[in-house]
């Protein structure tokens, strides 16, 4: 388990696309008190609207780590970032990365970290071995967030559901499956770094037996409709065995992001396909709501869209950042047993 030093300085590198900064945005939005500011190369056009601090300035203000706030396609760590990373190390900051490329694969970083007594954290990678999936039914309740595409609100929705369930007195645990979620929660399994044969098994380990009235809220990854990442989505879905799922969607998109030849399904078709895939390991799986990233819609457009989709699909339609997820939580409460059972774990 990685023990991360806070507060964080978020590093945006030379990011050119807003969705590449989803790690930085997630930390800003869900653990704001742990974030001091941001830093980037001059070529960057993306900002998360935090104070701009150099590694030296952040260290002087008490920062513990520089966190790479980028989650780019392929997860590569460019050589152009090395001078800034070395500056952070020289100023006593740990480095924290969720990229596929390991910090420890750069000898210059390993040598500098040893020289300055700091730690390189590759949170996407670990030494743990996972079993193959068993398909065994586990005690407790599970809700998963799934999507029509990547980077459109699965993590935000899962965190919002967890907080709302707890606020209403329910037992709920956020189960992180990606690097940003792990940085927020402090634990979890980066599913896209697990060997494919053991994805379902890792998801079973992530969400073990629990009280009959306890909700594991499982952060989704990828999309069944993604030409590159559908495999991670399917393995996570099978191993999670969710009793319920929330479909996440961005209505401004018509195709998979970065893949213009792949149109998004309708929400009705997406729900049907997730139900079909999920029934492999849980015959009772159902959709309990739709979570929308409505940031591109005006208030009037959002209310009209939500009403129309809710009427068409027969489930609540919410935006966790614009009104919350109470209606979806009420749907989950309808599935919760009235009394607790002993913890079977």
pLDDT (0 to 100) of residue 128:
84
Write out the DSSP string of 85-105.
HHHHHHTT-EEEE-SSS-GGG
Kindly give the pairing relationship between strand 259-263 and strand 255-256. Answer: antiparallel
> Pick from 187, 195, 194: which is nearest to 219 by CA?
187
pLDDT (0 to 100) of residue 78:
87
pLDDT (0 to 100) of residue 74:
60
pLDDT (0 to 100) of residue 125:
83
The verdict on whether omega for the bond into residue 7 sits within 30 degrees of 0, i.e. cis, is yes
DSSP 34: G
pLDDT (0 to 100) of residue 261:
97
- pTM of this prediction? 0.85
> How many Cβ atoms from other residues are within 10 Å of residue 241's Cβ?
24
Top CATH class of 8-122 equals alpha beta
Q: Which has more pLDDT, 148 or 74?
A: 148
pLDDT (0 to 100) of residue 339:
60
**Residue spans in the chain of domains classed CATH 3.40.50.300:** 141-333
pLDDT tens track for 106-140: 999 999 999 999 999 998 887 789 999 999 999 99
Residue 335 vs residues 13, 209, 243, 319, 338: alpha-carbon distances, Å: 44, 17, 9, 21, 9
Q: Which has more pLDDT, 244 or 184?
A: 244
Q: Chain-wide mean pLDDT for the chain? A: 93
Burial of 7 (0-12, 13-18, 19+ CB in 10 A): middle
Question: What is the C-alpha to C-alpha distance for residues 308 and 126, in angstroms, rounded to an integer?
Answer: 45
**Residue spans in the chain of domains classed CATH 3.40.50.720:** 8-122
pLDDT (0 to 100) of residue 230:
97
pLDDT (0 to 100) of residue 341:
43
The confidence band for 247, taking pLDDT boundaries of 50, 70 and 90, is very high
> Pick from 280, 275, 329: which is nearest to 141 by CA?
329
End-to-end CA distance of the chain: 20
Which pair of tokens denotes residue 123?
Answer: 């949170």
Q: What fold is seen in the domain 141-333? A: Rossmann fold (3.40.50)
User: Could you tell me how many helices (H) and strands (E) the chain has, helices first?
Assistant: 11, 13
């Amino acid at each position: 388990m990685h023990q991360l030093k806070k507060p964080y300085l978020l590093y945006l590198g030379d990011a050119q696309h807003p969705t590449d900064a989803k790690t930085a945005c997630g930390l800003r939005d869900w653990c704001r008190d742990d974030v001091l500011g941001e830093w980037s190369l001059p070529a960057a056009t993306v900002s998360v609207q935090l104070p701009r601090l150099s590694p030296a300035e952040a260290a002087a203000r008490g920062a513990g780590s520089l966190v790479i706030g980028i989650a780019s396609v392929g997860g590569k760590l460019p050589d152009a970032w090395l001078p800034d990373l070395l500056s952070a190390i020289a100023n006593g900051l740990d480095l924290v990365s969720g990229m596929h490329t390991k910090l420890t694969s750069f000898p210059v970083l390993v040598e500098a970290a040893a020289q300055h007594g700091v730690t390189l954290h590759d949170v996407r990678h670990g030494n743990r071995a996972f079993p193959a999936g068993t398909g065994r039914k586990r005690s407790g309740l599970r809700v998963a967030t799934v999507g029509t595409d990547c980077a459109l609100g699965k993590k935000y929705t899962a965190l919002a559901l967890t907080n709302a369930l707890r606020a209403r007195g329910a037992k709920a645990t956020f189960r992180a499956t990606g690097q940003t979620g792990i940085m927020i929660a402090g634990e979890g399994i980066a599913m896209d770094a697990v060997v494919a044969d053991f994805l379902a098994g890792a998801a079973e380990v992530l969400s073990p037996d629990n009280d009959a009235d306890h909700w594991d809220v499982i952060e989704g990854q990828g999309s069944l409709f993604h030409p590159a990442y559908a495999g991670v989505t399917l393995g996570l879905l099978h191993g999670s065995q969710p009793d319920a799922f929330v479909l996440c969607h961005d209505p401004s998109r018509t195709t998979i992001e970065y893949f213009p030849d792949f149109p998004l399904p309708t929400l009705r078709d997406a729900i049907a396909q997730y139900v079909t895939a999920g029934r492999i390991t849980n015959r009772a799986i159902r959709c309990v709501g739709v979570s929308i990233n409505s940031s591109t819609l005006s208030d009037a457009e959002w209310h009209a869209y939500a009403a129309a989709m809710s009427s068409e699909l027969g489930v609540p339609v919410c935006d966790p950042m614009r009104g919350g997820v109470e209606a979806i939580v009420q749907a989950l409460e309808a599935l919760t047993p009235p009394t607790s059972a002993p913890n079977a774990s």
